[in-house]
Chains A and B, each alone.
Chain A
């Protein structure tokens, strides 16, 4: 994309990304928080597109949708008040955590702005799918295969921990009724 188009898309999208990201932790409704997180990370995908990373942007849009939407219903399962009807406050150590987080955020932003970065090569597109494909299948092959193993372990671990009364009876205290979760 040209510099002007990048600027036109980047500024509103990036600001919206931060605003929705912040509202995730302000709103009291769980479904709203999950959808706002989806908005934040999806808009980040648009920012990637604006920075000419076509493949990464599209992939971010695709992956975050599935991931964050499933996150929403975990929140609905485990929150005492998923709809935010009582306006519960779900923050502890509010002032200290806000101070630390604000300090870190502003500090990182200041470092980013004040450092003299070796910026060159402006306006070139990021590598396309093809180049990434050669990278995945060639030089980074080992990382790719380890990523497969990581996904496998996540699936195994997830089933192991989440399945009620699975092989190792994890999380099933003896004698407690199964609460309609038989099988």
Chain B
């Protein structure tokens, strides 16, 4: 870790957003055009900002910035290679969850600040989704940290040098994937802001720079969450032959592609169904996953 880490995080964010743009086109079945994302961003930026009249203007315009900062903060705690470990806190795994926790207020602020009926409803729907996904997400981090005996992401990577955690704890992975998909507000968990639902929902009033920042933030969020999935479950940068950074990039891209591909092929569930399922199935199973993680730690990792 050097003093240049913050700048390197920005470089990773830019590269990651570009790659996710390409992946989106591949998954959608369009012929990939490398500059399409940049061109779309430039077109968005040429529009003026919009501000709904008589609304909470400052909430409305703070939301995209908060979303972007949350995404960048989450990305900063992902270690990419032994030489570039991101911001290497000894509590990095919780810090990642803490950064992701600020996605929720950002989306609520966007919906409430816009003050349009559909946007406000979108904000409330997102709160309901947060009640569903936040607990499994946080508990699974514990389940993975217990065998490593540390919350430092680099330690979690190193404990997987023999067997990746996905093989040891398949239950934890199965609970993590939907929660991680939900936190990036990708389909099928894009109820609050999908174009097909509520006509854009919480983000329907954004134009210009605001809209560009939100698109950028969502892609960075996907990179951060896929990177953390690779770190927690797929052994991070470890792998034969290839250099570590390349392994990490490949795993991250594979997870991001999986998220985008699976998400487009699943039906959207109603919010109340998601909440009920999360509290009846996901949370009890997450408790079981932690108990199981403790058992295998006692047996194999001491």
Give every chain A residue within 8 A of B94 (Cβ-Cβ).
Answer: 55, 58-59, 62
- Is B151's CB under 8 angstroms from A129's CB? yes
Q: Is the CB of B130 within 8 A of A62?
A: no
Interchain CB contact (< 8 A) of B90 among A42, A54, A66, A73: A54
- Contact code string A82-109 (vs B, CB < 8 Å = 1, else 0): 0100000000000000000000000000
Contact between B95 and A38 (Cβ–Cβ < 8 Å)?
no
B104 CB contacts on chain A under 8 angstroms: 65-66, 69
Q: How far is the CB of B293 from chain A (nearest CB, A)?
A: 15
Instruction: Check if A62 sits within 8 Å of B101, measured CB to CB.
Output: yes
B56 and A69 within 8 A (CB): no
Residues of A within 8 A of B98 (CB): 45, 58-59, 61-62, 65
Residues in B with CB closer than 8 Å to A54 are: 89-91
Decide yes or no whether B124 CB sits under 8 A from chain A.
yes
Task: State which size class the interface on B falls in.
Answer: 20 to 34
Contact, CB under 8 Å: B95 / A69? no
Q: How many residues of A contact B (CB 8 A)?
A: 24
Contact of B109 among A29, A35, A129 (CB under 8 A): A35
**Min CB gap B19→A, angstroms:** 29
Residues of A within 8 A of B89 (CB): 54, 58
Give A42 to B105 CA distance when docked, in angstroms.
12
Whether B91 contacts A66 by the Cβ 8 Å rule is no
A61 contact set on B, CB distance < 8 A: 95, 98, 101-102
In angstroms, Cα B160 to Cα A51, docked, is: 33
Minimum Cβ distance to chain A for residue B90 (Å): 6
Identity of the chain A residue whose Cβ is nearest the Cβ of B113 in the assembled complex: A31
Query: With the chains together, A38 CA to B105 CA distance in Å?
Result: 9
Residue of B nearest to A84 (CB): B56
The 6 closest A-B pairs by CB, nearest first: A65-B101, A62-B98, A61-B98, A58-B95, A31-B112, A58-B91
B residues contacting A by CB (< 8 A) are: 56, 59, 89-91, 94-95, 97-98, 101-102, 104-105, 108-109, 112, 115, 124, 127, 130-131, 134, 138, 151
Using CB atoms and an 8 Å cutoff, list the residues of chain A in contact with chain B.
Answer: 29, 31-32, 35, 38, 42, 45, 54-55, 58-59, 61-62, 65-66, 68-70, 72-73, 83, 128-130
